Chains A and B, each alone.
Chain A
């Protein structure tokens, strides 16, 4: 479903801040794969997701979604293949627009936006049902501005928006990192539910090793802009945090440095 072939990306080339963020990333996701991505700070996790999303052009390599080469497509054109949830809850939704208007915008991802009314009556009813399933009471506040919602509520709405038009790949970039632990686990449970119900292919970056082990059918670890560990199936089910730390040292030859990853 998703194929990343030998992708390179360097930021601030030729300056003192030069950073080789991606050093030949290779990854292949089959349909229905849910892969969690871990690694220390600056390992290239978010950079890899942004490369897939097309936030900027890559320096080298190819990215294929469902067999289509999207390497040359700008972000807004790739959007028709992708659902995205960001680390910052403010990024995924438009604060000055209503909840139903935000959902209606997302329902038209990848479609031509013409002069038809921005939201239909049937859609409103459909959104009402979907919001009810979230169990956050949002179905009664559909005409409230999204800016009035909490971070967790906004991430839940963003998740819903990402799945309204079934994406080929769902990209989750540390989408629970800014939430309190209770809300984070709620949003994670919702993530699982949406991925399973819609049979989505997904990639989730997280700093939390326990979450990385508990969710998804595959796990990859990144270091220095490369995928250094690729675990799936039965092997992943048996994984523990200690295993991961050991494996990290083994593969990278250094200690896993991120406090966040250890404490999570």
Chain B
């Protein structure tokens, strides 16, 4: 009875109505995930700065627009602010020897205060699309999606080009094999600084876009952002590998990172549509990311594990003794 009531209360239209909004938000977080991809996958640096720099991007965009600056100028300044945040984490790590995760957390915590200061000590600042000319807004979802796609496309092209250049290749080498990179004359400290800066500039850009989309900046808007970014990166990789297989190249990876962001938000849409309490969303996200991070490991284990080897050994031993008994049986028959 309860179930019938529950399912009849679900409105399919409500889901389809929410879908464009989910896609637009997913695109914006997908752009953020491109930044996470640079640090997490290319630099092998789990950078927690992003939770702070995402909100910094939103805060700078909103406050500068409200103070009368052109929205594009505001967005550019947001990127520069994000870049400086990434640089700060990089300096903490390379010049002061602080481990990557801790360096990121320190900057993130510092940014909480800095973001409040940027927002005139308010936790939330509104940015009305009626008063200011914004690049995108949730008011017009079609244009928000198109503009989100344009931003993502331009970023993917620029990143594809950059990581194919001499400097970009050096960054990739640094993330994969620091000893080799030093031996080839690469200043790996500088490469980390550049990579972290670019990553956080992209994250701040995404924060600036989300602030416009939702019509406000909030000091907590980036909380858990790293997990959403990782979710997008990992969902994108699993999906891309499944669809493209061996043809999955760097271009494909970047594209699928953004697609991962969109899929993540569609899943969130489904969860909300199923009337799960929105307070539990972060728990849900953490579980999704844990599952996707665990899948490659468990897959490898399913092919080769002690449990499997043990079973095979048991089967082999059982088989051998079975043939041994078989021999005995045959002999018995002969004797008869």
Q: How far is the CB of A205 from chain B (nearest CB, A)?
A: 16
- CB-CB contacts of B162-187 with A at 8 A, as 1s and 0s? 10111111101100110111111111
Q: Is the CB of B182 within 8 A of A101?
A: no
- CB-CB contacts of A71-114 with B at 8 A, as 1s and 0s? 00001110110101010001111111100010011101111011
- CB-CB contacts of A106-127 with B at 8 A, as 1s and 0s? 1011110111111100000000
Closest to A101 in B: B169
Residues of B within 8 A of A90 (CB): 177
B233 contacts chain A at the CB level, 8 A cutoff: no
Q: 5 tightest CB-CB pairs across the interface, nearest first?
A: A79-B185, A118-B169, A113-B166, A94-B177, A109-B185
**Contact for A80 among B169, B172, B185, CB less than 8 A:** B185
Residues of A within 8 A of B165 (CB): 114-118
List 5 A–B pairs whose Cβ atoms lie within 8 Å, in order of A's numbering.
Answer: A76-B186, A97-B172, A105-B173, A108-B184, A114-B165
Q: How far is the CB of A56 from chain B (nearest CB, A)?
A: 12
Q: How far is the CA of A239 from the CA of B294 in the complex (A)?
A: 58
Question: Are A106 and B184 CB-contacts (below 8 A) given A91-B179, A97-B176?
Answer: yes
B59 contacts chain A at the CB level, 8 A cutoff: no
Residues of B within 8 A of A91 (CB): 177, 179-180
A53 contacts chain B at the CB level, 8 A cutoff: yes
B188 contacts chain A at the CB level, 8 A cutoff: yes
Closest to B164 in A: A118
Please classify the interface of chain B as helix (H, G, I), strand (E, B), loop, or mixed, using the class held by over half of its residues.
helix
Residues of B within 8 A of A95 (CB): 176-177
How many A-B pairs with Cβ below 8 Å? Answer: 82
Interface size bracket, A side = 20 to 34
Q: How far is the CB of B191 from chain A (nearest CB, A)?
A: 9
Question: Are A105 and B176 CB-contacts (below 8 A) given A114-B166, A114-B167, A116-B166?
Answer: no
Residues of A within 8 A of B185 (CB): 76-77, 79-80, 108-111
Closest to B165 in A: A115
Q: How far is the CB of B171 from chain A (nearest CB, A)?
A: 9
Q: How far is the CA of A117 from the CA of B183 in the complex (A)?
A: 21
Known: A75-B182, A82-B183, A115-B167. 4 other contacts (CB 8 A): A80-B185, A93-B180, A111-B185, A116-B165
Q: Is the CB of A76 within 8 A of B166?
A: no
Q: Is the CB of A109 within 8 A of B180?
A: no
Residues of B within 8 A of A104 (CB): 169
Question: Are A75 and B166 CB-contacts (below 8 A) given A95-B177, A97-B172, A105-B173?
Answer: no
- CB-CB contacts of B183-209 with A at 8 A, as 1s and 0s? 111111000000000000000000000
Q: How far is the CA of A12 from the CA of B187 in the complex (A)?
A: 26
Q: Which of A151-193 contact B (CB under 8 A)?
A: 161
Residues of B within 8 A of A86 (CB): 179, 183
Q: Is the CB of B182 within 8 A of A93?
A: no
Q: Is the CB of B172 within 8 A of A96?
A: yes
